[in-house]
Amino acid sequence: MTQFGEAFLAAFIGLAGGIAVGSGMVAFLVVLDIIPRLAQITRSFSKIHAYEAAVVLGSLLFTWVDFSDAKVHLFPMGAAVVGIFAGCFVGMLAAALTEIINVLPILAKRVGMGSYMILLLMAMIFGKVVGSLFEWLFY
């Protein structure tokens, strides 16, 4: 394979992976209704467009930071502020997941897999463990 072909293949795989991950993240945010739920809990429906803009701009900014060689030298309290925001994001996703986990038994019963619920949950758990181990050990 030529050098151009290898570069094209790498670009294609990278673009396809990015589209898959981005689509999954958007679907995740839409299915869990994180932004409308945040506006509902904080009683700030008038600021829902600001929440959406913050998610989009944050995604774009940190994607650029990830791809660039930019280094941000923060003082310890600045790093703590970034950590707090990252913790809030992870906490909101975890809270949204706990709300949606109630849907699994209902979905399993509706599609006729009620008797296989334990197997379904075990498959999800083992898939997460194997995927995490693969990423930690090989990347």
User: Residues 44-94: pLDDT tens digits?
Assistant: 889 889 988 888 888 888 888 878 887 778 788 888 888 898 888 778 777
Q: What percentage of the chain has pLDDT greater than the value 70?
A: 88
Confidence at 33, pLDDT banded by 50, 70, 90: confident
Q: What is the CA radius of gyration of the chain?
A: 20
Q: Average pLDDT, whole number, for the chain?
A: 81
Q: In this predicted model, which residue has the larger pLDDT, 110 or 126? A: 126
Res 99: pLDDT: 66
Question: Is residue 129 exposed (0-12), middle (13-18) or buried (19+ Cβ within 10 Å)?
Answer: exposed
Cβ(119)–Cβ(61) under 8 Å?
no
Query: What is the pTM assigned to this prediction?
Result: 0.49
Res 86: pLDDT: 85
Checking if the pLDDT of 96 tops 80, the result is no
If you ran DSSP here, which 8-state letter would residue 47 be given?
G
